[in-house]
Structure 1
Amino acid sequence: MNQSPIAALAALAIALVPTSAAAQAVKRGDRAILDVAQTLKPGQFVWAPELTGEGPALVIVNLETQRLVMFRNGVPIAASTISSGAPGHETPTGVFSILQKREEHYSKTYNNAPMPNMQRLTWKGIALHAGKLPGYPASHGCIRLPLQFSKLLFGQTELGMTVVIAHIPIRPQDSGEPLAANPAGPQASFSKASYQWNPPATASYDPLSVVVSAADQKAVVIQDGKEIGSAPVRVNGDLQGGTAYVLKSWDDSGKHWLKLRFSGAGGTMDVGPEELKRFDAPDAFRAALAAAVRPGSVVIVTPESLKAGSAGESTTVLADETAK
């Protein structure tokens, strides 16, 4: 299933000076990973898995800033410079799963080009792998990484893990649970609406990916690379470019979500008590979703359409086409 374009979201770009800097790890010191990420030069990365224990992981690739950030248990533990698709070969934005991993791989499309530590995101040729990093988008669509970082990342990821590719700056903020409480008020008209929910016959404990389009007033639920549900969803208020939530833990006190705000320059990261009232969805769909989410599940909210033919950047939510 291929979903259509999501328009580029307003973003604060990090200025990069194209250089031939050799790939190297940068010492973090006392600095936060997201602060270090802004200072990295082409080919540089920071790696600090000791910041948190074992747990669900999420990778976010920012095409605007040419950065990759890895979260584990909702905590940023690594960041790297990247090189994404050059003009005419743009890397698609969207929510992906790691479909295949190969330490040694050669492209079937591009003259048997080597792709060390390849992690496939689509069967049409988009992957994470080691490659040249000139400081700007220069690939045929894949996401190039420093060789040493690609090895470290390869060792920490798993098949089915979620990778989000976007055109936005990413900042974390604790948040309430998205789509968890039905809003009060005159626009709560979707509470009894019909919805689709078709979980796999065999129970899966892999994290869910949920994409909510404010333009389409629709949510799509993905697990193990397949759509398992959809429902009408209304998002009230200004999205300021979009929002994402990741479930970092679930204990006796409840679910604990991390909010990644896709805001531009000067955008606030504050989360108020009215946050949950922004979402209007069928009550039964909310209940099914709440029971199915697991740590590592991600909810992406975008103001743009997912319908085929809509204007903007190319977005793939699922892909199962010809292998590269």
Structure 2
Amino acid sequence: MAFRAVGILCFLALACASGQVPDTPSAPDESAVLGAVPVPPKVVPRVLDLATPENTKITVSLGRQRACLLVCGEVAIEAPVSSGQRRARTPAGNYEITEKATTHLSGQHGDFIDAKGRVVRNGVSTRTDPAPSGTAFRPVALQYYMKLNADGLALHAGRLPGYPASDVSVRLPADIAPLIYQRVKVGTPVVIEE
């Protein structure tokens, strides 16, 4: 991995020195993001200490796979995210939080289980995966859930593989999600941009 990073840096340095600037896509595809080294979350305590549900705003950059909690326009938290994958992209737009729950049972994602509670198929979507005969749906619990619309768009804690892997929603790091959740309210603006 270190050799790959050094190689990329050398290529960029040579390209810039020769006056040729490599093209940069407006929104990286999964393969480009997959090879990237994730930038860890950044918390600015002096700004975060000033946060109240009345003075906060959340921004999400789909291209950078980053989210920010802003306090009076200043960055209090910047963290990596995992947004919707190609088949279920996270829609850009202006939203506001319409519902909050520390634990929310998903109506769309979970496992199919048999009568004894054993998992028959895990990680399913009720939108795309038919239930095998004799099974029931067991929803996954989403932690620090902040709903943005009726179509399944929400912010919540989840797995961050380093590229867009969610099904519409925006996943936040497990240690950052509660920090954001505690400082927003129903009505807090959320801007999602390409």
Q: Secondary structure at the match of 1:156?
A: coil
**What's the TM-score once normalised by structure 1's chain length?**
0.39
Q: Which residue of 2 aligns with 1:309?
A: none
2:41 paired residue among 21, 45, 50: 45
Q: Is the 8 A contact 1:46 1:80 kept in 2?
A: yes
Q: 2:178 aligns to what? A: 151
Cα shift readout 1:99-121 (whole Å, capped 9, x = no counterpart) = 00000111011231221000000
The residue that corresponds to 2:190 in the other structure is 163
1:202-231 Cα shifts (integer Å, max 9, x gaps): xxxxxxxxxxxxxxxxxxxxxxxxxxxxxx
- Whole-Å Cα distance in 1 between the matches of residues 166 and 72 of structure 2? 31
Question: Structure 1, residues 21-65: CA drift from partner, whole Å, max 9, x if none?
Answer: xxxxxxxxxxxxxxxxxxx726x3122241363461111100001
Q: Structure 1 residue 74 and structure 2 residue 77: aligned?
A: no
Q: Does residue 117 of structure 2 align to residue 90 of structure 1?
A: no
Structure 1 residue aligned with 2:14: none
Instruction: Give the deviation of 1:17 after TM superposition.
Output: 4.5
In 1, Cα distance between equivalents of 2:46 and 2:142: 28
Distance 1:106 1:12, change over 3 A: closer
The answer to whether residue 56 in structure 2 is matched with residue 60 in structure 1 is no
Q: Distance in 1 between matches of 2:64 and 2:78?
A: 12
Q: Percent identity?
A: 29
Deviations 1:145-193 (A, max 9, x none): 11110011111111100000011xxxxxxxxxxxxxxxxxxxxxxxxxx
Change (3 A) 1:72 1:85: same
Per-residue deviation, 1:16: 4.0
For residue 51 of structure 1, give the secondary structure of its aligned residue in structure 2.
helix
1:204-219 alignment, distance < 5 Å: none
CA shift for structure 1 position 93: 0.6
Indicate the residue corresponding to 2:157 in structure 1: 130
Which whole-Å CA distance do the structure 2 matches of 1:17 and 1:122 have between them? 28
Q: Distance in 1 between matches of 2:144 and 2:43?
A: 17
Distance 1:79 1:158 in 2: 19
1:103 matched to 2:102? The reply is yes
Moved over 3 A (4+): 10-13, 15-19
Q: Aligned-pair distance for 1:11?
A: 3.8
| C-alpha RMSD of matched pairs (Å) | 2.3
Give the whole-Å Cα distance in 2 for the aligned partners of 1:63 and 1:129.
15
- TM-score, reference length from structure 2: 0.64
Partner-residue secondary structure (3-state), 1:104 = strand
- How does 1:278-289 map onto structure 2 within 5 Å? none
Return the alpha-carbon distance in structure 2 between the equivalents of residues 119 and 48 of structure 1. Answer: 22
- 1:140 aligns to 2:139 (yes or no): no
Give the Å deviation of 1:18: 4.7
Q: Mark the runs of 5 or more structure 2 residues left unpaired by the alignment.
A: 1-24, 111-138
The one-letter amino acid of 2:101's match is R
CA contact (8 A) 1:18 1:134 kept: no
Q: Aligned residue pairs: how many?
A: 137
Structure 1 counterpart of 2:189, which letter?
T
